[in-house]
Chain A
Amino acid sequence: MTLAEAQAGDQEAFAALFRDIQPSLLRYLQVIAGQAADDLAGETWLQVISGLAGFRGDERAFKAWLFTIARHRTIDWARSRARRQALPQKLGPADARQVMPDTADVVLERLETRSVLAAIATLPRDQAEIILLRVVAGLDAPAVARIVGKTPVAVRVAAHRGLRRLAVVLDQPGVTV
């Protein structure tokens, strides 16, 4: 009902939606966009607000819609940045690694939220993004498949590969959870 109330203009309902989704949105953007996460989250919410009245669907669909917008904003941001800078830069884990601690350091420190995100950022981009959408955003495989433009089976395979890699990292000696 929160979504319907927010669509009707209820400010408290919208604030509740924001508080529910913003952390996972930021965690997702921190991995795939690094330092631009805050700005991209703000742009995402602006676009969501402008289209909120016309949105049709439940809260799960709303979350999938919001993360789709966030992903598109990130892609646009990466393209514009690539145009501004003559040298093309990779988006995603490579970018996130610039602001995240080194993987070797990550596995040595306590795996808190930021450390887990940093570990995820070491994965290939598609695997990292799919794991974030599945685990952090809480979306199911078909929704993630629609967002990233893959089949649900491909999403499952990529997620499994990424999880196995992460398990290997976390299983290294000296790593404590």
Chain B
Amino acid sequence: MTGPDAPSGKMPRVPFPGRAGRDEDDPLLDLILDRQPLPASAPAGLLALADSFDGLATPPGTGEMPGQAAALAAFRRASWPASTRPTAAGSPGHRRRIRLRAGRARLSAAVAAVIMALSGTAVAGYAGALPASLQSFAHRMIGAPAPQHAAHHAHGAAEPRAGHPGSQPSPTHATSPAHRAKPGKKKAIYGRGHRSQTGKHAKKPKRAHPARPQPKAHPSRTPGPPER
């Protein structure tokens, strides 16, 4: 019977029989794998191995670049898919059709934008929400309320005052020379916006705000002397 084995601390650095000297060349083998130069003191076998591997990094010899033409052709096909190849979709006729279609779309968008802007301006003109110069222009062109008229109209609609319930027209409206038409006689010249406020309200002129300046009627629209 023998006693227990010696502790590991008493048997230092005893290599495995099959691995004697193997670990020492591991860094050299790593250098070979990383294509790094070996030190001159390296074993001859490893130096020969490293030298032989140098040939693997040399430029390709004859016959080592086959398939380049085929690969480039495949690359061209992949880079230029059939839908964009010049022989098919890139023909002059196709490009002309694309340009025409794009031009038509742009024209339609522009027409739609103009129509929307004009109708918006017209609505604003009838609501009296335009600046004075524009309102005056709208007054002349489409019969929208005159600027002063429109201002009072908008003001009255927004703030109904006591004593003027509902949407009673402004007194200036009734006293305006442009609105002193014969009661009941509609004036087609002022268009729809004006027509709706003639007649009934013109019969009852009130001077609720006498201090307010009297707006001048448009010179070109000044009616003639009142009929008697």
Contacts and interface: CB of A to CB of B under 8 A. Distances in A.
Interface of A: 6, 9, 11, 14-15, 18-19, 22-24, 26-27, 38, 41-42, 45-46, 49-50, 52, 111-113, 116-117, 119, 131, 134-136, 138, 141, 156, 159-160, 163-164, 166-168, 170-171, 175, 177
A131 B72 CA distance: 29
Nearest to A117: B56
Contact of A111 (B25, B44, B52, B65): B52
A166 B78 CA distance: 42
A24 B53 CA distance: 12
A171 B45 contact: yes
Given A11-B76, A45-B71, A171-B45, A113 B56 contact: yes
Contacts of B18: none
B79 A9 contact: yes
B48 A170 contact: yes
Contacts of A50: 78
Given A22-B68, A177-B51, A49 B61 contact: no
Chain B binding surface SS class: helix
A134 to B, nearest CB: 5
A171 B47 CA distance: 10
A153 B59 CA distance: 31
B75 to A, nearest CB: 5
Contacts of B64: 22-23, 26-27
Contacts of B78: 49-50, 52
Nearest to A10: B79
B65 A159 contact: no
A119 B49 CA distance: 11
Given A9-B79, A111-B55, A42 B70 contact: yes
A38 B49 contact: no
13 contacts: A11-B79, A18-B72, A23-B64, A26-B66, A41-B66, A42-B67, A49-B75, A49-B78, A131-B33, A156-B30, A159-B29, A163-B46, A164-B29
A49 B48 contact: no
B49 A163 contact: yes
B74 interface: yes
Given A112-B55, A116-B55, A159-B29, A167 B48 contact: yes
Interface string B20-34: 001001100110110
Contact of B56 (A27, A167, A177): A27
A163 B33 contact: yes
A161 B143 CA distance: 101
Contacts of A119: 52
Contact of A167 (B46, B66, B72): B46
B35 interface: yes
A171 B52 CA distance: 12
Contact of B67 (A45, A164, A171): A45
Contacts of A168: 45
A111 B79 CA distance: 41
A119 B29 CA distance: 17
B62 to A, nearest CB: 11
Contacts of A134: 33
A135 B48 contact: no
B226 interface: no
Given A14-B71, A22-B68, A171-B45, 5 more contacts: A45-B74, A49-B78, A113-B56, A119-B52, A141-B33
A42 to B, nearest CB: 5
Point out which of B25, B33, B55, B64 has the most chain A C-beta atoms below 10 A from its C-beta: B33
